[in-house]
Amino acid sequence: MKLYDYLPSGNSYKVRLLMSYLGLQYDHVLLDIHKGETQSEDYKAKNPAGQIPLLELSDGRRIAESNAILYFLARDTPYWPAGHFEQTKALQWMFFEQYKHEPAIAVARFIRMYAADTRADELEKLMPKGRAALDVMEHHLADNLWFAAAGPTVADIALYAYTHVAGDGGFELSDYPNIMAWLDRFSDHPKHILITDLPMG
């Protein structure tokens, strides 16, 4: 397999995390989104959306969208829940992550890290939305160790990626003790990697 990736991206990090946890071997292709490398003709022939991550299988088929890649890789592993209800809850949280969480928390992080001079006016609307998403997570974690099952699943991976760096976007994670405890639980994995770690092997 081949993963097209940009290391600081939380969406790409999700995929690298799961692949690390599963001990999967793959070729790693770094692209720089700031240099427009995902907008080249060659890359857009592979993924017309011009986004990362993109997983290319050994037979040439390709899968885009980070949570779709998580689903593909997690099936028949401990990271995809066994029960129908738990599977549906995993999807619920993955949809929440992409619709409510990532558009606020990841975008605020991007603006503060890369576009503070041109897009800072957007933060006024993004910050309350990001805190609202964190509030939902905090409430769930008051009575649950994980998001979709008795152990970590792709739902946790999807939410961990941008939550653990939410501070880069100006969100104060110390205001969310349940989330902080969950972040510690999640990262306590023998094959855990940091967001900017290159794959091993």
The range of the structural domain enclosing residue 46 comes to: 2-74
In a domain, 43, yes or no: yes
Handedness of CA 92, 189, 143, 181 (dihedral sign): negative
Q: Taking Cα atoms as reference points, which of 125, 130, 139 lies closest to residue 176?
A: 139
In a domain, 196, yes or no: no
Going across the sheet that includes 62-64, the strands are: 27-30, 2-5, 54-56, 62-64
Instruction: For residues 59 and 131, state if they share a domain.
Output: no
Q: What is the CATH number of the domain that holds 37?
A: 3.40.30.10
Instruction: For residues 60 and 103, state if they share a domain.
Output: no
Instruction: For residues 24 and 98, state if they share a domain.
Output: no
Distance CA 69, CA 47 (A): 13
The pLDDT assigned to 44 comes to 97
Instruction: For residues 127 and 32, state if they share a domain.
Output: no
Distance CA 137, CA 63 (A): 28
The pLDDT assigned to 200 comes to 65
What pTM was estimated for this model as a whole? 0.96
In a domain, 130, yes or no: yes
Number of domains in the chain: 2
Query: What's phi and psi for 179, nearest 5 deg?
Result: -65, -40
Cis check for the bond before 190: say yes or no (omega within 30 of 0): no
Instruction: For residues 70 and 88, state if they share a domain.
Output: no
Spell out the per-residue pLDDT of the chain, length 201, in tens: 999 999 999 999 999 999 999 999 999 999 999 999 999 999 999 999 999 999 999 999 999 999 999 999 999 999 999 999 999 999 999 999 999 999 999 999 999 999 999 999 999 999 999 999 999 999 999 999 999 999 999 999 999 999 999 999 999 999 999 999 999 999 999 999 999 988 765
